[in-house]
Chains A and B, each alone.
Chain A
Amino acid sequence: MVRIGAFFVGLFFAGWLLISFLFGAAAYVSDPPQPTVEHEFHKAPKHVSFSFDGPFGRYDRQQLQRGFQVFKEVCSACHSLKFVAFRDLEALGYNEAEVKAIAKQWAIKTPDVDPKTGEMTGRDPVPADHFPKPFANNVAAAAANNNAIPPDLSLMTKARHHGSAYVYSLITGYQPQPAELLREFPDAKTPEGLHYNPYFANLNLAMAPPLTADGQVTYGDGTKPTVDQMAKDVAAFLTWTAEPKLENRRRAGLATIVFLLIATGLAYMAYQNIWAGKKTAA
């Protein structure tokens, strides 16, 4: 009974799937899917190498500090970094006093309540505070940015495939819309107020090119602040903000795996010992 019932259920599902396949195949042949502009012109992130690549890579503290400087002087005007606290900057090599000074001099104030009047006000951030947001809320952010809300950057490099290279590619990837794109897709002209960028998912980005000229930021460590260098530095910084424990993780992993290799080797020998003779003897 079970097998007869199963036969018909199976016949139904398999049969209908094959019929669906025939419909789909017919449609595929008669009306092949049209290539989309994203399909044709979207690019995978550029290849770029960082000090933290590979299983033993580490952050370059100097580079993170430079990247932080770019974030501070360029990105932070519009983008929040809400999961990172000023105190976390000590991991970049700043000492306690420097972190305190960075927090105190931060251009955006931490929201607070006036203890006398109860009104909303702002105060200088302290190291324990997270980076204050540049806009009070999403409505204000959208209103100030041509209706596009600048996303929080704390996790940006983990929220995109190949995030570090993505950030670098996006910042350095602005270009005029290619002529063949307009020839092939005349409707896909970049709308007013948006910017063509082949590394962005739908090719047109609300953010204007943030790094436009060499020397936009003056580095203290003598590194030449080319656009390429600044983009790379800020991508490294944002990799750190997304994965601050990367070095701890890799260190702990190495110790764990070495230990496990020895322990597993011993376990294998013990296993062979215990079974010695059992596999062949009757």
Chain B
Amino acid sequence: MAAPTSTSLARACTHCLRSRAPQLSRQSSQHLPSISNNRTFSVLHRPPPNYPGHVPLKLPERLFLAAGSAIMSFLDPRRGDLIALLGETTAQPYFIYRLRDTMLKHPTGRRILRDRPRITSQSLSLPYLRSLPSNTIGATYVSWLDREGVSPDTRSEVRYIDDAECAYVMQRYRECHDFYHAITGLPIVREGEIALKVFEYANTGLPMTGLSAFSTFTVKKEERDRLLSVYFPWAIRNGWKAESLLNVYWEEVLETDVQEMRDRLGIEVPPDLRKTRAEIRRKKREERGGKVKTVTASAPAATASDTTVETARVETEAEREEREQLEIERKAMEILEQADKM
């Protein structure tokens, strides 16, 4: 049922950290048969990696990558790879260690760190998840995957965090992101992603999630207003008081009811963003339908081609994204309905 055919659909989860870009070359971590330990850490001489795939960074490199990825992902929030990079380069020092300690203080979090489970299409049987009742975490999770048209394998590997255990914490956070969608019920449209990021910031304290709040400036005004008045207060309050999401062994609670899990963690369901948006859009469409008619009616003198061009241009700028999202949601609804029937 997964449909990775349409790239526009697949990239819709703009803040998901899902990297579709080809993996960066790992040469840098492999080219050193460390001749001498006395040599200083320079661009030409990197110390050996602490774990497979690790790339040790110097501070200027780290700063450059952080700044670059911050700016570029602000300009193009669809670059999940850059958001992932921003997450890694800003998490260290302190933040990722604090998050690791949060896990170490909790019996379940400790067990996760001990087992280091990875969420992949091998570790999770997707057909089994699809067979679960729709109110379970597993079914909700897989419905996100299906809607997005991706598999759990598309999360990129952590490379820039120096401590192996902390790198795993980052990886775990990344791989569980879709579960957070499932548990909060926030949709994968940008507005929902931003709200979820703020929620994660209050919950995990990772700087990247907090920086993502700046994306508020890039969304439409009505969305921004909605975020600031409804979703941010919800996200901060709930993220702060809820138990750390990193301490949930998602693999073990797949069959649990979503609402039960929310109660256990102490998360309130936010207002249904999907419904709100659909409603507003419908109202607008009706309004605009009338408006376009009046505009066309009130300007009969203008050439027909001019009007068409103008309307077309207006539509491309303002409504392209909305159309895409509408399409996604329609498709998602279909999938959900089908899932319910099954």
| A, B in one complex | no
- Taking beta carbons and an 8 Å cutoff, which residues of B are in contact with A? none
- Taking beta carbons and an 8 Å cutoff, which residues of A are in contact with B? none
